[in-house]
Structure 1
């Protein structure tokens, strides 16, 4: 089927390119409106205890959005300041959309400990839409800035969410520009020509534009988060470039092997072989993205929707548009050893170490080295980095496995101290007003800490509540306890924690209050929401792992026909994931290298970052795994003599042939993610840095060393299948391909 698809796209190449061009232009024109139709999802998961508490409080004591302001830098008790500020506070009360104002001038609000600042909270009407509330908040901020004090800081959750959304869009634009600029240069050097380099870029633009168009249409049916747009951009560029490079490299190889073959035949072979890897990879990555739904989080579900959509479209583009583009521009795709204005061929200029790698690939020494690759196509020019690493790993498999696994485990050690938290204003850029407001409130107004909301079931009397209140007061993390008498219809106790309202101490206090005996109760508030989110993630993680890993296992089983290879691939991918988490903790939680990356650590990792990295790392690791294993399986099927030597030759031949495309794809996608690591939002920066580290570790330590070393140790057991009788060796005669004398390397 894929072979026929390749031939069809070659014959109809201009129609295929024209159709995708129309869709891309429409997507570029209309898809941008998705930014105006996104929703600011709060990530609240239904059914959790803290969610139930908040829903009950919203029923009996509905509250609108709150604007928080700090007026500072001048003596609070100054007579003219009191008069002016009081007048402005009364004016704010009269504004349409304002429900209540609490300030130190007219309503007994909080004054800073230095007497130089005061806190103002403005509650808006509950019935306002998001846009209406933001309009009122801006009017309130304008009025507050009329107070004659040196510094007026205005923030709050409503304005912080808007700042997050605006910064996310700005980071996306900046990341795209930086990534595309460096990506163009990298593709130019990799493919050796301007027109050849344009092929992956055209595929990436098509994927992004069409996905944004699809998200715009879906935004009218389901909520779409602005962060899903970031995911679309990251995955769209990365996967489109990966799949394009795989197809272009395989086309060059097929053309070099049969220079007189017709274009239609070459693209049929290319799509039948490389297209199969693209299809399996796309299915694997899409399945991993769908695994986000297992966490039952609205924000993650929106990201899963965008991610799965872009993977499907990237796969379709890789199987249709990319072959059509190759058919149109095939004369401008230089061979690997062809001289261009960008590069000179390296075949006659090999370094001694590289020559050694080629010599060993053709029949070098070493009990586990790959001897003559009987029936394999000789490598063109100098071998790639992965081929050299693979040759080294096959000569010393035990040492490489021990050293590689040990390195990844050492990198993973910091992950044992992983601290998760919900991103708040502290994750905004250091200079943003919303972040500065939150920091000043936390530092100077301890009484403004949001307490734990303990909702008691039934209608207990004060006497019945007294033992429970004494126990809560005796807990080490409790600062203050008082019964709320301003909420009708429920019995509510506020428990003020010591320290930050959602810090480790407050989270521990939530667990201790829930563990007490006595009256039935439910606990809500920011700390309880974080505790419930973390517990829910841990509870649902096994389900997500089973769904993702089982689907991955089945796809690799169908690709390779082996049970051992998928299990080994999954274990190696999990090692990469653990090492990435460890690096992420060291950088973003401990602050190693924070000055270099331009951010201030806040002592935790965003709660969604490990989940997103879980699917991204597994997905892209599987991407490269499929590329390599598909070719290794081809080489194994060419030999099939069930010997250890045949296994070693197949592994080295597959890595030698596919290593360059994997290296090039990894370099390109690392550039893409590094572009987003330059963003201002810490959460986006975490994803960018985490994915860059994961890709680099995966393509060097895992694919370059651990994959060939482990397959060498396993030998013919790599291809074991239970309940399948071993077939006798079937030699496949393959004509020897003479190696030109000019390309031989001396011993």
Structure 2
């Protein structure tokens, strides 16, 4: 079937390229509008306890968005400052959409910094405002606040921070994509030895990415599309399309070199039949890994899975259709594979070393990966908040100023809701108990509520979603009360997100492991090889996460990467890295194993070294492609390190580390070492009493 597809791409090469060009043009013209249609998606499932509590609060006692302003740079008792703040505050109160304004001069609340040179102003908007209306009113309020006669005015709050997140995500995607494309283009032109050969993989990448953006634009009218899904599209689309293109080009060059008189249609048929099979298996493996995200029932992860799955499918289709068509048109401009006057490539040299000392290399490589994973014992997870914005962000600077300069800065409390009247039996004792609980800084019982409901705001000690606050959530939910105790707030959301991940992780793992294991079994007809591949990919992932803890939680190298650590990893980072790193590791695994299996099938097991020869021959043939692909995709991921969002940097650094470890330690050392140790047992499968003997290609085809 795949050979027939290769011949069809030769016959219809012009039509295929024209269709893809039209799709790319439409995607470039209309697909960009997806950035204007993205939405912020609630990271919690609708049935999470914190989400249920927040929905009930929004019904009973809705609150509007809040803006926080830090007015600083002059003595707070200055007559000029007092006059200016008072005038502007009364002006803001008259703005349609403003519910309440709190300041140090007109409300009697003393909100002065410890150095007496800054004061706080908080503005609450009307709860009924839509998102667009809230942003419009916030703009009016911000304009008024900036007219206060003070040297420095910082304005922030959750609404403005969220808008900055969205804008920064779009900028990060644009910068990362642009830098990645330029760097990858230069790299490919140099390594592939020509302009056409270097730009061909980028043409496939642009086709896959623009087609996905066009599809997401259409889906945005039916389903919520996250701004982070757009980043996922660019990240995966460029990387996978380049990988698949390199594999197809390299195989075509090898087939042409082996049989220079063969018709072009036959060369493309052989190329798609062999490399195309690896592309199809690899794309299916990455898509299966992304499907694992759906098991978490997380709306944000589901949005990312949707965008990622789309680009994987389209990158695979581009690899199987657009790339062969482009090769058919530009085959004369593709140079012959370079002869290696200096001996075998990097992976082949590493593999030869590993095969000479398989036991020592396997133990050392595995131990090294485990050492890199050791920081995971100290990992802290959190939801990205304003601290994940760049240090130049005004919302972040506002937050840091309130936390550093004020004894009692505004903090989002835990909100406790009980469906019982405040004077119901047991309720006064409940509030007394809450006030005495460890980790409670203050308790404010609300009034003016509907009958039969009690609500209290509980201010925790320390960070809003820190470990003490999360422990407090568990204690509050366990309290004896006339009705179940519902708890909302940042710590409650993080607690529920962590519990949801831990509960659903086995199902996600099962989906990914079973699906990829089955695909590798179909590729290799072996049980041992897929199990080893999964185990090695897990080692790579654990080592990568350990490095991320050291870099982003502990701050090792933070100055070089241009960020300030906030003491935790984003909760979604390990999940995204799991599917990305697992999927892309399978990418290289498939490339290698497909070639190793070919070499194994060509041999007869006349001696014990047949397995080692097949492994070394496969790595020697596929190694240059994998090395080039790793360099290219590494540049893609490093392009996203230039972004401002810490969460995006985590993914970029994590994937670059994963690719580096996978291509050197795992593919170059651990894989050949373990295959040498197991010998022909690598190819065992149920139903045989002894290890499977290799068969000839003729027998395979029969």
- Report the TM range for the smaller structure's normalisation: over 0.9
Residue 59 of structure 1 corresponds to: 59
Residue 638 of structure 2 corresponds to: 674
Residue 46 of structure 1 corresponds to: 46
CA distance 1:467–1:129, change in 2 (3 Å): closer
Partner deviation per Cα, 1:366-425 (whole Å, 9 max, x = no partner): xxxxxxxxxxxxxxxx32111111111111000011100000000000011111111111
Residue 202 of structure 1 corresponds to: 203
Deviation at 1:482, TM superposition (A): 3.4
Residue 347 of structure 2 corresponds to: 386
Output the TM-score relative to the length of structure 1. Answer: 0.90
Retained in 2: the 8 A contact 1:278–1:315? yes
Deviation at 1:148, TM superposition (A): 0.8
CA distance 1:507–1:195, change in 2 (3 Å): same
Deviation at 1:206, TM superposition (A): 0.6
Residue 699 of structure 1 corresponds to: 663
Residue 559 of structure 1 corresponds to: 523
Partner deviation per Cα, 1:89-108 (whole Å, 9 max, x = no partner): 11111112212222222223
Deviation at 1:481, TM superposition (A): 2.4
**Structure 2 residue 493 is matched with structure 1 residue 492:** no
Partner deviation per Cα, 1:421-450 (whole Å, 9 max, x = no partner): 111111111111110111112223425222
For 1:732 and 1:36, locate their aligned partners in 2 and report how far apart those are by CA, in whole Å: 56
**Structure 2 residue 413 is matched with structure 1 residue 451:** yes
Counterpart secondary structure, 2:253: helix
Retained in 2: the 8 A contact 1:31–1:216? yes
Retained in 2: the 8 A contact 1:284–1:555? yes
For 1:499 and 1:728, locate their aligned partners in 2 and report how far apart those are by CA, in whole Å: 61
Deviates more, 1:694-703 or 1:442-451: 442-451
For 1:727 and 1:39, locate their aligned partners in 2 and report how far apart those are by CA, in whole Å: 54
Deviation at 1:79, TM superposition (A): 2.5
Deviation at 1:45, TM superposition (A): 2.2
Counterpart secondary structure, 2:445: strand
2:673 to 709, 725, 743: 709
Retained in 2: the 8 A contact 1:2–1:271? yes
Deviates more, 1:117-126 or 1:161-170: 117-126
Deviation at 1:643, TM superposition (A): 5.2
CA distance 1:643–1:474, change in 2 (3 Å): farther
Q: Counterparts of 1:54-203 in structure 2 under 5 Å?
A: 54-109=54-109, 110-203=111-204
Retained in 2: the 8 A contact 1:642–1:716? no
**Structure 2 residue 382 is matched with structure 1 residue 418:** no
Counterpart secondary structure, 2:123: strand
Deviation at 1:488, TM superposition (A): 3.0
Partner deviation per Cα, 1:559-615 (whole Å, 9 max, x = no partner): 111111111100000000000000000000000001111111111111111111111
Deviates more, 1:443-452 or 1:387-396: 443-452
Residue 608 of structure 2 corresponds to: 644
Residue 587 of structure 2 corresponds to: 623
**Structure 2 residue 402 is matched with structure 1 residue 441:** yes
Counterpart secondary structure, 1:328: helix
Deviates more, 1:474-483 or 1:160-169: 474-483
Residue 262 of structure 2 corresponds to: 261
Counterpart secondary structure, 2:597: helix
Retained in 2: the 8 A contact 1:643–1:715? no
**Structure 2 residue 592 is matched with structure 1 residue 591:** no
Counterpart secondary structure, 1:448: coil
Residue 543 of structure 1 corresponds to: 507
Deviates more, 1:689-698 or 1:24-33: 24-33
Counterpart secondary structure, 1:283: helix
CA distance 1:74–1:566, change in 2 (3 Å): same
Retained in 1: the 8 A contact 2:402–2:409? no
Unaligned runs of 5+ residues in structure 2 are none
Retained in 1: the 8 A contact 2:426–2:481? no
Deviates more, 1:599-608 or 1:445-454: 445-454
Counterpart secondary structure, 1:496: strand
Deviation at 1:642, TM superposition (A): 7.8
Counterpart secondary structure, 1:543: helix
Partner deviation per Cα, 1:165-196 (whole Å, 9 max, x = no partner): 11111111111121112111110122111111
Partner deviation per Cα, 1:189-235 (whole Å, 9 max, x = no partner): 22111111111011111111111101101101100011111110010
Residue 328 of structure 1 corresponds to: 329
Counterpart secondary structure, 1:320: helix
1:509 to 472, 478, 489: 472
1:523 to 482, 487, 498: 487
For 1:459 and 1:83, locate their aligned partners in 2 and report how far apart those are by CA, in whole Å: 44
Q: Counterparts of 1:197-276 in structure 2 under 5 Å?
A: 197-276=198-277
**Structure 2 residue 623 is matched with structure 1 residue 665:** no
Partner deviation per Cα, 1:130-176 (whole Å, 9 max, x = no partner): 22211111110010011111111111111111111111111111111
CA distance 1:264–1:477, change in 2 (3 Å): same
Counterpart secondary structure, 1:644: coil
Retained in 1: the 8 A contact 2:605–2:693? yes
For 1:504 and 1:714, locate their aligned partners in 2 and report how far apart those are by CA, in whole Å: 46
Counterpart secondary structure, 1:676: helix
1:471 to 416, 430, 433: 433
CA distance 1:577–1:200, change in 2 (3 Å): same
Partner deviation per Cα, 1:660-688 (whole Å, 9 max, x = no partner): 11111011000000111111111111110
Deviation at 1:288, TM superposition (A): 0.8
Residue 633 of structure 1 corresponds to: 597
For 2:191 and 2:363, locate their aligned partners in 1 and report how far apart those are by CA, in whole Å: 33
Deviates more, 1:430-439 or 1:452-461: 452-461
Retained in 2: the 8 A contact 1:459–1:491? yes
Counterpart secondary structure, 2:426: helix
**Structure 2 residue 653 is matched with structure 1 residue 689:** yes
For 1:499 and 1:727, locate their aligned partners in 2 and report how far apart those are by CA, in whole Å: 60
Partner deviation per Cα, 1:74-124 (whole Å, 9 max, x = no partner): 222223322221121111111122122222222234332333222222122
Deviation at 1:487, TM superposition (A): 3.2
Retained in 2: the 8 A contact 1:27–1:212? yes
CA distance 1:404–1:66, change in 2 (3 Å): same
Residue 430 of structure 1 corresponds to: 391
Q: Counterparts of 1:309-324 in structure 2 under 5 Å?
A: 309-324=310-325
Deviation at 1:309, TM superposition (A): 0.1
Partner deviation per Cα, 1:35-71 (whole Å, 9 max, x = no partner): 1111122323211111111111100111222211111
Residue 375 of structure 1 corresponds to: none
For 1:219 and 1:311, locate their aligned partners in 2 and report how far apart those are by CA, in whole Å: 19
**Structure 2 residue 284 is matched with structure 1 residue 279:** no
CA distance 1:308–1:733, change in 2 (3 Å): closer
State the superposition RMSD in angstroms. Answer: 1.7
Aligned residues: 694
For 2:108 and 2:516, locate their aligned partners in 1 and report how far apart those are by CA, in whole Å: 61
Retained in 2: the 8 A contact 1:442–1:500? no
